[in-house]
Protein backbone atom coordinates (compact mmCIF):
# COMPACT_ATOMS: atom_id res chain seq x y z
CA UNK A 1 0.00 0.00 0.00
CA UNK A 2 1.14 3.55 -0.73
CA UNK A 3 0.03 6.72 1.08
CA UNK A 4 0.71 9.96 -0.76
CA UNK A 5 1.34 12.76 1.74
CA UNK A 6 3.64 13.00 4.75
CA UNK A 7 1.42 15.23 6.90
CA UNK A 8 -0.01 14.21 10.26
CA UNK A 9 -3.07 12.34 8.97
CA UNK A 10 -1.40 10.68 6.00
CA UNK A 11 1.38 9.45 8.26
CA UNK A 12 -1.11 8.22 10.85
CA UNK A 13 -3.08 6.21 8.30
CA UNK A 14 0.15 4.73 6.98
CA UNK A 15 1.13 3.79 10.53
CA UNK A 16 -2.21 2.02 11.02
CA UNK A 17 -1.96 0.14 7.73
CA UNK A 18 1.61 -0.94 8.47
CA UNK A 19 0.19 -3.19 11.18
CA UNK A 20 -1.58 -5.17 8.47
CA UNK A 21 0.40 -4.92 5.23
CA UNK A 22 3.59 -3.60 3.69
CA UNK A 23 3.12 0.16 3.60
CA UNK A 24 5.06 3.09 2.16
CA UNK A 25 4.59 6.85 2.60
CA UNK A 26 5.54 9.25 -0.17
CA UNK A 27 6.54 12.71 1.10
CA UNK A 28 7.84 15.78 -0.68
CA UNK A 29 10.02 16.72 2.29
CA UNK A 30 13.30 14.79 2.18
CA UNK A 31 13.79 15.28 5.92
CA UNK A 32 10.45 13.55 6.60
CA UNK A 33 11.47 10.61 4.42
CA UNK A 34 14.74 10.29 6.31
CA UNK A 35 13.04 10.58 9.70
CA UNK A 36 10.54 7.81 8.95
CA UNK A 37 13.18 5.48 7.57
CA UNK A 38 15.84 6.05 10.22
CA UNK A 39 14.21 7.00 13.52
CA UNK A 40 10.62 5.82 12.81
CA UNK A 41 9.13 9.22 13.52
CA UNK A 42 7.66 12.16 11.63
CA UNK A 43 9.36 14.87 13.63
CA UNK A 44 7.71 17.68 11.70
CA UNK A 45 4.10 16.75 12.48
CA UNK A 46 4.08 13.88 14.99
CA UNK A 47 7.32 14.34 16.90
CA UNK A 48 6.14 12.66 20.10
CA UNK A 49 4.93 9.43 18.50
CA UNK A 50 6.85 6.40 17.32
CA UNK A 51 5.74 4.93 14.01
CA UNK A 52 5.37 1.27 13.16
CA UNK A 53 8.90 -0.10 12.61
CA UNK A 54 7.95 -1.68 9.25
CA UNK A 55 6.65 1.59 7.78
CA UNK A 56 8.86 2.95 5.00
CA UNK A 57 9.04 6.31 3.21
CA UNK A 58 10.15 7.42 -0.23
CA UNK A 59 10.56 10.56 -2.29
CA UNK A 60 10.33 8.72 -5.61
CA UNK A 61 6.72 9.29 -6.64
CA UNK A 62 6.59 7.48 -9.97
CA UNK A 63 8.34 4.32 -8.79
CA UNK A 64 6.23 4.06 -5.65
CA UNK A 65 2.95 4.55 -7.54
CA UNK A 66 3.87 2.02 -10.22
CA UNK A 67 4.55 -0.65 -7.59
CA UNK A 68 1.48 -0.21 -5.38
CA UNK A 69 -1.72 -2.27 -5.32
CA UNK A 70 -3.63 0.24 -3.15
CA UNK A 71 -3.27 4.01 -3.33
CA UNK A 72 -4.30 6.33 -0.49
CA UNK A 73 -4.45 10.04 -1.29
CA UNK A 74 -3.38 11.98 1.81
CA UNK A 75 -2.46 15.26 0.12
CA UNK A 76 -4.43 18.49 0.80
CA UNK A 77 -7.25 19.48 -1.51
CA UNK A 78 -5.15 22.24 -3.05
CA UNK A 79 -2.63 19.70 -4.35
CA UNK A 80 -5.07 16.88 -5.06
CA UNK A 81 -5.70 17.32 -8.79
CA UNK A 82 -2.07 18.11 -9.54
CA UNK A 83 -0.95 14.97 -7.73
CA UNK A 84 -3.51 12.82 -9.55
CA UNK A 85 -2.30 14.21 -12.87
CA UNK A 86 1.31 13.52 -11.93
CA UNK A 87 0.63 9.82 -11.26
CA UNK A 88 -1.90 9.11 -14.03
CA UNK A 89 0.62 7.40 -16.30
CA UNK A 90 2.19 5.34 -13.49
CA UNK A 91 -0.87 3.98 -11.67
CA UNK A 92 -2.11 0.60 -12.90
CA UNK A 93 -5.75 0.51 -14.11
CA UNK A 94 -7.20 -1.81 -11.46
CA UNK A 95 -5.65 -0.20 -8.37
CA UNK A 96 -8.23 1.18 -5.86
CA UNK A 97 -7.84 4.82 -4.80
CA UNK A 98 -8.94 5.96 -1.32
CA UNK A 99 -9.13 9.65 -0.44
CA UNK A 100 -8.36 11.07 3.01
CA UNK A 101 -8.85 14.72 2.03
CA UNK A 102 -11.82 16.57 3.49
CA UNK A 103 -12.78 19.50 1.32
CA UNK A 104 -13.64 20.72 -2.17
CA UNK A 105 -11.72 21.91 -5.18
CA UNK A 106 -12.59 25.63 -5.07
CA UNK A 107 -12.59 26.29 -8.82
CA UNK A 108 -14.86 23.37 -9.75
CA UNK A 109 -16.61 22.68 -6.40
CA UNK A 110 -15.83 19.00 -6.95
CA UNK A 111 -15.33 16.46 -4.21
CA UNK A 112 -11.99 14.65 -4.19
CA UNK A 113 -13.43 11.33 -5.39
CA UNK A 114 -14.93 13.17 -8.35
CA UNK A 115 -11.46 14.43 -9.24
CA UNK A 116 -10.14 10.88 -9.04
CA UNK A 117 -12.91 9.68 -11.35
CA UNK A 118 -12.08 12.50 -13.78
CA UNK A 119 -8.28 12.24 -13.80
CA UNK A 120 -7.82 8.53 -12.96
CA UNK A 121 -10.89 6.92 -14.54
CA UNK A 122 -11.66 3.21 -14.50
CA UNK A 123 -10.46 2.55 -10.96
CA UNK A 124 -12.44 1.80 -7.79
CA UNK A 125 -12.56 4.97 -5.67
CA UNK A 126 -13.57 5.55 -2.08
CA UNK A 127 -13.02 7.57 1.06
CA UNK A 128 -11.81 6.92 4.61
CA UNK A 129 -13.50 9.34 6.99
CA UNK A 130 -14.69 9.85 10.55
CA UNK A 131 -13.88 11.61 13.85
CA UNK A 132 -10.16 10.97 13.58
CA UNK A 133 -7.70 13.28 15.34
CA UNK A 134 -4.26 12.07 14.37
CA UNK A 135 -2.46 12.49 17.68
CA UNK A 136 -5.15 10.66 19.66
CA UNK A 137 -4.94 7.73 17.26
CA UNK A 138 -1.15 7.70 17.41
CA UNK A 139 -1.44 7.62 21.20
CA UNK A 140 -3.50 4.44 20.91
CA UNK A 141 -6.80 5.95 22.02
CA UNK A 142 -9.90 4.20 20.65
CA UNK A 143 -11.47 5.63 17.50
CA UNK A 144 -13.82 4.69 14.69
CA UNK A 145 -14.02 5.48 10.99
CA UNK A 146 -15.80 4.40 7.83
CA UNK A 147 -14.32 3.27 4.53
CA UNK A 148 -16.87 4.01 1.85
CA UNK A 149 -16.77 2.47 -1.61
CA UNK A 150 -19.80 2.01 -3.84
CA UNK A 151 -18.72 -1.60 -4.54
CA UNK A 152 -19.32 -3.32 -1.18
CA UNK A 153 -16.97 -6.22 -1.89
CA UNK A 154 -14.09 -3.77 -2.33
CA UNK A 155 -14.97 -1.96 0.90
CA UNK A 156 -14.90 -5.32 2.67
CA UNK A 157 -11.42 -6.00 1.30
CA UNK A 158 -10.19 -2.56 2.43
CA UNK A 159 -11.70 -2.73 5.92
CA UNK A 160 -9.00 -4.96 7.48
CA UNK A 161 -6.21 -2.93 5.86
CA UNK A 162 -6.90 0.05 8.11
CA UNK A 163 -8.29 -1.68 11.21
CA UNK A 164 -6.30 -2.20 14.41
CA UNK A 165 -7.36 -3.22 17.94
CA UNK A 166 -7.89 0.47 18.79
CA UNK A 167 -9.07 1.77 15.39
CA UNK A 168 -12.35 0.22 14.25
CA UNK A 169 -13.29 0.66 10.60
CA UNK A 170 -16.86 0.20 9.40
CA UNK A 171 -17.78 -0.23 5.74
CA UNK A 172 -20.22 2.06 3.93
CA UNK A 173 -21.80 2.31 0.49
CA UNK A 174 -22.56 6.05 0.56
CA UNK A 175 -19.38 7.64 -0.79
CA UNK A 176 -21.12 10.97 -1.46
CA UNK A 177 -22.54 11.29 2.05
CA UNK A 178 -19.32 10.26 3.80
CA UNK A 179 -17.26 12.64 1.71
CA UNK A 180 -19.64 15.58 2.12
CA UNK A 181 -19.75 15.08 5.89
CA UNK A 182 -15.98 15.41 6.09
CA UNK A 183 -15.88 18.44 3.82
CA UNK A 184 -18.77 20.39 5.31
CA UNK A 185 -17.97 19.90 8.99
CA UNK A 186 -14.83 22.05 8.72
CA UNK A 187 -16.95 25.13 8.09
CA UNK A 188 -18.95 24.57 11.27
CA UNK A 189 -15.78 23.92 13.28
CA UNK A 190 -14.75 27.48 12.47
CA UNK A 191 -18.15 28.71 13.65
CA UNK A 192 -18.02 26.73 16.91
CA UNK A 193 -14.46 27.86 17.53
CA UNK A 194 -15.42 31.50 17.04
CA UNK A 195 -18.20 31.19 19.61
CA UNK A 196 -15.70 29.69 22.05
CA UNK A 197 -13.11 32.36 21.25
CA UNK A 198 -15.60 35.10 22.07
CA UNK A 199 -16.44 33.48 25.39
CA UNK A 200 -20.13 33.09 24.57
CA UNK A 201 -20.58 29.87 26.51
CA UNK A 202 -21.36 26.20 25.99
CA UNK A 203 -25.05 26.80 25.27
CA UNK A 204 -24.20 28.92 22.23
CA UNK A 205 -21.54 26.47 21.05
CA UNK A 206 -23.93 23.52 21.38
CA UNK A 207 -26.61 25.40 19.44
CA UNK A 208 -24.14 26.25 16.67
CA UNK A 209 -22.97 22.64 16.39
CA UNK A 210 -26.52 21.28 16.37
CA UNK A 211 -27.90 23.80 13.88
CA UNK A 212 -24.74 23.32 11.84
CA UNK A 213 -25.50 19.62 11.65
CA UNK A 214 -29.00 20.42 10.40
CA UNK A 215 -27.55 22.62 7.64
CA UNK A 216 -25.00 19.96 6.77
CA UNK A 217 -27.64 17.24 6.48
CA UNK A 218 -30.00 19.34 4.37
CA UNK A 219 -27.33 20.33 1.84
CA UNK A 220 -25.76 16.86 1.86
CA UNK A 221 -29.10 15.24 1.08
CA UNK A 222 -29.73 17.70 -1.75
CA UNK A 223 -26.34 16.76 -3.22
CA UNK A 224 -26.99 13.03 -3.18
CA UNK A 225 -25.84 11.92 0.27
CA UNK A 226 -28.04 10.00 2.68
CA UNK A 227 -29.33 11.71 5.83
CA UNK A 228 -28.47 8.69 8.01
CA UNK A 229 -24.90 8.76 6.73
CA UNK A 230 -24.58 12.40 7.74
CA UNK A 231 -25.89 11.55 11.21
CA UNK A 232 -23.17 8.88 11.58
CA UNK A 233 -19.42 8.73 12.09
CA UNK A 234 -18.55 10.54 8.87
CA UNK A 235 -21.05 13.32 9.55
CA UNK A 236 -22.08 14.07 13.12
CA UNK A 237 -19.15 12.15 14.61
CA UNK A 238 -16.57 14.06 12.61
CA UNK A 239 -18.41 17.33 13.26
CA UNK A 240 -18.35 16.86 17.03
CA UNK A 241 -14.68 15.94 17.19
CA UNK A 242 -13.63 18.79 14.93
CA UNK A 243 -15.75 21.40 16.73
CA UNK A 244 -14.72 20.40 20.25
CA UNK A 245 -11.07 19.42 20.06
CA UNK A 246 -8.22 21.88 20.69
CA UNK A 247 -6.26 19.76 18.18
CA UNK A 248 -8.58 20.76 15.33
CA UNK A 249 -6.99 23.27 12.96
CA UNK A 250 -10.37 24.58 11.81
CA UNK A 251 -11.62 25.02 15.36
CA UNK A 252 -8.37 26.80 16.20
CA UNK A 253 -8.92 29.18 13.31
CA UNK A 254 -12.39 29.94 14.68
CA UNK A 255 -11.11 30.55 18.20
CA UNK A 256 -8.52 32.97 16.90
CA UNK A 257 -11.16 34.78 14.83
CA UNK A 258 -13.39 35.02 17.88
CA UNK A 259 -10.51 36.49 19.85
CA UNK A 260 -10.19 39.29 17.32
CA UNK A 261 -7.36 38.18 15.01
CA UNK A 262 -7.66 38.64 11.26
CA UNK A 263 -8.00 35.65 8.96
CA UNK A 264 -4.83 36.63 7.09
CA UNK A 265 -2.60 36.60 10.15
CA UNK A 266 -4.18 33.38 11.44
CA UNK A 267 -3.52 31.53 8.18
CA UNK A 268 0.03 32.90 8.02
CA UNK A 269 0.80 31.21 11.34
CA UNK A 270 -0.55 27.77 10.36
CA UNK A 271 1.90 25.05 9.37
CA UNK A 272 -0.91 22.90 7.92
CA UNK A 273 -4.03 23.55 5.86
CA UNK A 274 -7.33 24.59 7.47
CA UNK A 275 -9.72 23.31 4.80
CA UNK A 276 -12.77 25.04 6.27
CA UNK A 277 -11.67 28.48 5.10
CA UNK A 278 -11.61 27.46 1.44
CA UNK A 279 -14.67 25.27 1.88
CA UNK A 280 -16.72 28.19 3.22
CA UNK A 281 -16.68 29.86 -0.20
CA UNK A 282 -17.69 26.65 -1.97
CA UNK A 283 -20.44 25.85 0.54
CA UNK A 284 -22.00 29.28 0.09
CA UNK A 285 -22.14 28.73 -3.68
CA UNK A 286 -23.52 25.21 -3.25
CA UNK A 287 -26.19 26.45 -0.83
CA UNK A 288 -27.27 29.07 -3.36
CA UNK A 289 -27.28 26.54 -6.19
CA UNK A 290 -29.38 24.02 -4.26
CA UNK A 291 -31.55 26.68 -2.57
CA UNK A 292 -30.69 25.60 0.99
CA UNK A 293 -30.94 28.16 3.82
CA UNK A 294 -27.56 27.94 5.63
CA UNK A 295 -27.13 31.03 7.85
CA UNK A 296 -24.20 29.65 9.87
CA UNK A 297 -22.22 28.68 6.78
CA UNK A 298 -23.03 32.08 5.29
CA UNK A 299 -21.60 33.82 8.34
CA UNK A 300 -18.41 31.75 8.20
CA UNK A 301 -18.04 32.81 4.59
CA UNK A 302 -18.67 36.44 5.51
CA UNK A 303 -15.96 36.62 8.16
CA UNK A 304 -13.41 34.56 6.23
CA UNK A 305 -13.89 36.27 2.87
CA UNK A 306 -15.70 39.58 3.49
CA UNK A 307 -14.13 40.81 6.74
CA UNK A 308 -17.31 40.60 8.81
CA UNK A 309 -17.08 40.56 12.61
CA UNK A 310 -17.41 36.95 13.85
CA UNK A 311 -20.40 37.19 16.17
CA UNK A 312 -22.06 33.89 15.24
CA UNK A 313 -24.35 33.61 18.24
CA UNK A 314 -26.17 36.81 17.34
CA UNK A 315 -25.97 36.87 13.54
CA UNK A 316 -26.44 33.17 12.77
CA UNK A 317 -28.40 31.84 15.71
CA UNK A 318 -30.44 34.61 17.30
CA UNK A 319 -31.15 36.84 14.31
CA UNK A 320 -31.99 34.19 11.74
CA UNK A 321 -35.52 33.88 10.49
CA UNK A 322 -37.89 32.31 12.97
CA UNK A 323 -39.53 28.96 12.26
CA UNK A 324 -39.74 25.26 13.04
CA UNK A 325 -36.48 23.63 14.10
Active-site residues, by number, are: 185
Nearest alpha-carbon partner for 242 in 230, 254, 231, 260: 254
Cα dihedral 64, 70, 73, 74, rounded to 10, equals -80
> What is the greatest pairwise CA distance in the chain?
60
Beta strands in 135-236 (DSSP E): 143-149, 167-172
Give every strand in the sheet of 56-58, ordered side by side: 56-58, 24-26, 2-4, 71-73, 97-99, 125-129, 143-149, 167-172
DSSP β-bridge partners for residue 171? 147
Helix H or strand E segment including 28: none
Asked whether 13 and 156 are in contact (CB, 8 A), the reply is no
Report strand pairing: 71-73 vs 2-4. Answer: parallel
- Burial code of 195-233, b = ≥16 C-beta within 10 A, e = fewer? bbbbebeeebbebbbebbbebbbbbbbebebbeebbbbb
Closest CA to 130 of 69, 191, 171: 171
Contacts of 325 (CB under 8 A, 6+ apart): 214
Amino acid sequence: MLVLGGGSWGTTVAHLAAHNCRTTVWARDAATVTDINTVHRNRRYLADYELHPELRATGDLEAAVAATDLLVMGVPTGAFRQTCEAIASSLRPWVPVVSLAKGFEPETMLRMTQIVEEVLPGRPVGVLSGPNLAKEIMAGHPAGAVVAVSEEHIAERLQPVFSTPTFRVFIHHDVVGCELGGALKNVYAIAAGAVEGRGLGDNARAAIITRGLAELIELGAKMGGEALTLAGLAGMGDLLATCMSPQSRNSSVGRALGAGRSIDEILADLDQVAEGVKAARVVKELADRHEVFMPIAAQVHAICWEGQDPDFAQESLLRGRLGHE
